[in-house]
């Protein structure tokens, strides 16, 4: 009995081994999808996805690429892959009004007097530089000719922003047009030096990816309103490292009408050269140290005194403007830039142990 069962068991084992060996081939033949697979319905998009999509579809037609042109450049000969386009400085802008004024960064335009605008449809239109405000890194250019102008993007306010709010940046990083990135407001009231040697106060910091080419593009809140103009990043590599900055829209909304109407923005001042914050810290004072007054300036006429260069003794230190504390130059600049010229301010100054109030005229020192 035992000898008769052995061949049967061996046969069964052989069959099983054979099935094991050929099973992958049979499965591949029988179960392989030989026709396109059925699409699985995904259901409703998440609320935050719907918000992002609606926002992008609404604002992207009004976000453009700005190309600074040389004297010989022909904007209508430019194309996506042209060497001429690659050679020019490029950035982003957005439509400000129905007249075709476009807001961008001053450093995008540079010294060019002519620019080309590439719209969301991919076409290039000529534009002219209306005005530059290097102190704020803001420029306005205007579409010329009869090109169709997309609708302006609604603006919000930067006065009531909160760290942690979701924000959206639309721009042309590395020339890749119509790019949307998202993030949050990382911090508020940052100070950002400009190429003009001044500081922009109240700057918005965000972790939304901002790269070269995003400059001049809009930073938006979740309602699709512009709350800032993207302007700079901090990155050793030159690419996004999660620290980007935007000029607050309340500053932009004050500067742009001046550029449209006059081509420039007044630079409010009283005619003083001030010491650095490092100097104030070494001197143990909290305020704006006057190094010297400029000749025939309002400060000189008001009797303000700078540092005695022979002895190193401090003169006047500005500690308040119109009863608002001025602990550093950025405070003084912010207060003065919020004034409508011409006007007069009340300075509280410290000279030695004496504190007094001085009335000083504020003028446009940029003339």
Q: Is 215 a catalytic residue?
A: yes
Report the run of H or E that residue 299 belongs to, with start and end.
helix 298-301
Q: What are phi and psi of 140, to 5 degrees?
A: -125, 130
Contact assessment for residue 116 and residue 124, using Cβ atoms and an 8 Å cutoff: yes
Q: Check if the beta carbon of residue 163 is closer than 8 Å to that of residue 186.
A: yes
- Catalytic residue status for 3: no
Choice among 60, 215, 240, 297 that is catalytic: 215
**Number of Cβ within a 10 Å radius of residue 198:** 18
| CA distance from start to end of the chain | 118
- DSSP track, 103-167: EE-HHHHTT-SEEEEE-TTS-EEEEEEEEEETTTTEEEEEE-TT---PPPPPB--STT--TT-EE
Cross-strand pairs, 170: 180
What does each C-alpha distance from 32 to 36, 37, 41 come to in angstroms? 11, 11, 22
Alpha carbon distance 351, 349 (integer Å): 7
What is the C-alpha separation between 135 and 331, in angstroms, rounded? 15
Q: Which of these, 77, 135, 89, lies nearest to 115 by C-alpha position?
A: 89
Determine the Cα–Cα distance for residues 295 and 289; give it in Å rounded to an integer: 18
For residue 340, give the DSSP letter.
P
Note the maximum CA span of the chain: 128
Residue 259, phi-psi category: left (phi > 0), alpha (psi -120 to 50), beta (remainder): alpha
250 catalytic, yes or no?
A: no
Please tell me which residue in 60, 62, 137, 297 is annotated as part of the active site: 137
From the list 123, 118, 92, 126, the residue with the least C-alpha distance to 107 is: 92
Please pick, among 60, 107, 207, 316, the residue that the annotation labels catalytic. 107
User: Any idea which residues carry the catalytic annotation?
Assistant: 107, 137, 215
């Amino acid at each position: 009995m035992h000898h008769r069962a052995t061949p049967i068991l061996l046969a069964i084992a052989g069959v099983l081994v054979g099935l094991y060996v050929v099973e992958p081939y049979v499965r591949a033949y029988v179960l392989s999808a030989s026709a396109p697979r059925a699409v699985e319905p995904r259901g409703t998009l998440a609320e935050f996805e719907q918000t992002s999509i609606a926002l992008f579809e609404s604002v992207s037609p009004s976000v453009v690429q700005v190309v600074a042109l040389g004297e010989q450049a022909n904007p209508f000969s430019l194309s996506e892959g042209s060497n001429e386009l690659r050679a020019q400085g490029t950035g982003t802008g957005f439509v400000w009004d129905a007249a075709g004024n476009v807001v961008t960064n001053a450093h995008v335009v540079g010294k060019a007097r002519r620019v080309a605008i590439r719209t969301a449809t991919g076409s290039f239109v000529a534009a002219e530089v209306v005005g530059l405000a290097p102190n704020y890194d803001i420029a306005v250019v205007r579409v010329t000719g009869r090109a169709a102008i997309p609708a302006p993007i609604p603006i919000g306010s930067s006065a009531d922003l909160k760290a942690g709010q979701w924000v959206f940046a639309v721009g042309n990083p590395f020339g890749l047009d119509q790019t949307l990135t998202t993030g949050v407001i990382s911090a508020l009231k940052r100070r950002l030096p400009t190429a003009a040697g001044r500081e922009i106060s109240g700057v918005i910091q965000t972790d939304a990816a901002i790269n070269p080419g995003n400059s001049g593009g809009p930073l938006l809140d979740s309602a699709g309103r512009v709350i800032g103009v993207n302007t700079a990043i901090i990155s050793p590599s030159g690419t996004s490292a999660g620290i980007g900055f935007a000029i607050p829209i309340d500053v932009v909304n004050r500067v742009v009408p001046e550029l449209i109407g006059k081509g420039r923005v007044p630079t409010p001042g009283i005619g003083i050269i001030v010491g650095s914050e490092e100097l104030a810290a070494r001197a143990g004072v909290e305020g704006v140290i006057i190094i010297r007054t400029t000749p025939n300036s309002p400060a000189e006429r008001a009797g303000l005194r700078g540092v005695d260069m022979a002895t190193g003794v401090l003169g006047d230190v500005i500690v308040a403007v119109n009863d608002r504390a001025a602990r550093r130059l950025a405070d003084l600049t912010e207060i003065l830039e919020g004034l409508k010229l011409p006007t007069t301010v009340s300075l509280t100054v410290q000279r030695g142990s004496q504190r007094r109030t001085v009335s000083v005229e504020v003028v446009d020192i940029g003339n």
